[in-house]
Amino acid sequence: MSPTEVLSEAFELGFTYTRSTGPVVGRFLTGLRDRRIEGVRASDGRVMVPPMEYDPDTAAALDDFVEVGQQGEIVSWCWVSEPRKAHPLQQPFAWAMIRLDGADVPMIHCVSAASEDQLATGARVQVRWAEETRGHIADIACFELAEVAQ
């Protein structure tokens, strides 16, 4: 073999296992399928959405579920003027940190708006559900400004 010859072998990378969502994430996803949003209460009383399996401060297992609202407030956001194929929306939109009513920790999701000028920190938004829900984060199609949501 010469020093410039490259050895190669065709192969297919695959993961031959499945992973359960577990009781916490599974309950969250089941709630989304049923058009309900649940968080979990941490040891310090904060409600986290999406829920975490373990307390970030104490590492204790968490199981005090709390249903939160389907409206909330934009805490922070950034505008995407040219969405890519992998983005959830194919028209300009915002990624936003949204603190849902009844939650203390914001979640990240997309916000559909006609223009960047419509968005502001503190703006009220509400869930727009996918037409068909199946127990996936995409069951929340996006959030819309509460004043213009259908």
pLDDT in tens, 27-83: 999 999 999 999 999 999 999 999 999 999 999 999 999 999 999 999 999 999 999
| Entry pTM | 0.83
Q: Is there a cis peptide before residue 92, judged by omega within 30 degrees of 0?
A: no
**Residue 141 scores a pLDDT above 70:** yes
Sign of the Cα torsion 28, 23, 88, 102 reads positive
Instruction: Name residues whose C-beta falls within 8 Å of residue 4's C-beta, 6 or more positions apart in sequence.
Output: none
Instruction: Name residues whose C-beta falls within 8 Å of residue 3's C-beta, 6 or more positions apart in sequence.
Output: none
The per-residue pLDDT for range 77-124, each reduced to its tens digit, is 999 999 999 998 999 999 999 999 999 999 999 999 999 999 999 999
| pLDDT on residue 1 | 64
**Residue 20 scores a pLDDT above 90:** no
Pairwise CA distance, residues 99 & 113, whole Å: 18
**Residue 25 scores a pLDDT above 60:** yes
Enter the tokens of residue 54: 């373990």
Domain segments of the chain as ranges: 22-145
Q: Assess contact for 65 and 50: CB atoms under 8 A.
A: no
